Amino acid sequence: MLNRRSLKDLVRPNIAKLAPYSSARNEYSGHEAHVFLDANENPYNSPYNRYPDPLQQEVKGELSKIKKVPACNIFLGNGSDEAIDLVYRVFCRPQVDNVVAIEPTYGMYKVCADINDIEYRPVLLDEHYQMSADALLAACDDRTKVIWICSPNNPTGNNMSTQEITAVLERFDGIVVIDEAYSDFSSAPLFRHGVTKYPHLIVLNTMSKAWGCAAIRLGMAFANEEIITLFNKVKYPYNVNLLTQQHALEALKNRTEVEKWVKLLLEERPKLMAAFRELPICLTVYPTDANFFLAKMTDAQSIYDYLVERGIIVRNRTRIKLCKDCLRVTIGTKKENAELLSALRQFKDK
């Protein structure tokens, strides 16, 4: 039986003792009010003159219905990046603790580690871009606070093994973060439904991908109430603005439309991948469970530069470990995909 560290043991001591800022909107929570003379706001230009709900209760209520997670287990932030940064600020002591992550993966895990002065220990995936629980755990020591897993992974696109992820959850005594940003495009089991079973689990999600709302910058984290309370304690008081909350509520009413978008993208995905395989300049198209795929090309840099000249932007991942000469291609509309393929078919003559 794993002798798991308690959350109290994992939290930075200064954060455990932190007295959070008490916003005006928090202090009267639970009461009806109609005269607001507490926050030094301008009484004119409603509704933009008032500070927004600091805990985004209405948005969480709607998300709870869709995500099948209680509102008390949801944190909302300025994109998923805010939640990523909060993991470091809540649990990791600068120049003391370390984190472990799969490699290659989403770059912000390392960027936030560097910003917070935390040692970042990458563990290479295998030749099939799969993770090993044993390898991740072997990289840990008594100062490892967090393990980062992205599934479906970015930039590789594939799901990590459910069995290997579960092994990490059951064998690691620190915080496990699973980033499910692309889960709407996958049929794999969702780990966000396990936040009550695993008290040290944090699952990330976003409105940026399937919901088509990258511009509003709304990310979410699912975790047990104690972790959510810690995040709310450390975050800036009004971290999600009113316009974002309003647009999120409107977007959440259009679930049928979002399902249609996902269906269209999933129909286009195999077509675009098959067309890529036929290109003489494409060596390999890797399996994917996301709304993008990774393709190994004959010369990724030259092909990337060629596409940029034609106003077509893909992601050049050739400098990322295990991704030499790879381009990451997002699934677009039929027209966008056709334009991309037309350009690439002409490149063979260059």
The average pLDDT across 134-148 equals: 98
Residue owning tokens 């050049």: 316
Q: Quick one: pLDDT band at residue 1, thresholds 50, 70, 90? A: low
Q: CB under 8 Å to 58, separation ≥6 — which residues? A: 245, 249
The DSSP symbol for 315 reads E
Residue with tokens 């509704």: 47
CB-neighbour burial class of residue 173 (10 A; exposed 0-12, middle 13-18, buried 19+): middle
Average pLDDT, the chain: 96
Mind listing the pLDDT tens digit for each residue in 149-197? 999 999 999 999 999 999 999 999 999 999 999 999 999 999 999 999 9
The model's pTM: 0.95
pLDDT at 308 over 90: yes
The pLDDT tens digits of the residues spanning 243-281 come to 999 999 999 999 999 999 999 999 999 999 999 999 999
The closest of 157, 172, 169 to 203, measured between CA atoms, is 169
Q: Go through the domains of the chain in sequence order and give each one's CATH number.
A: 7-254 (3.40.640.10), 256-346 (3.90.1150.10)
Q: What is the mean pLDDT of residues 213-218?
A: 98
Tell me what pLDDT residue 113 has: 98
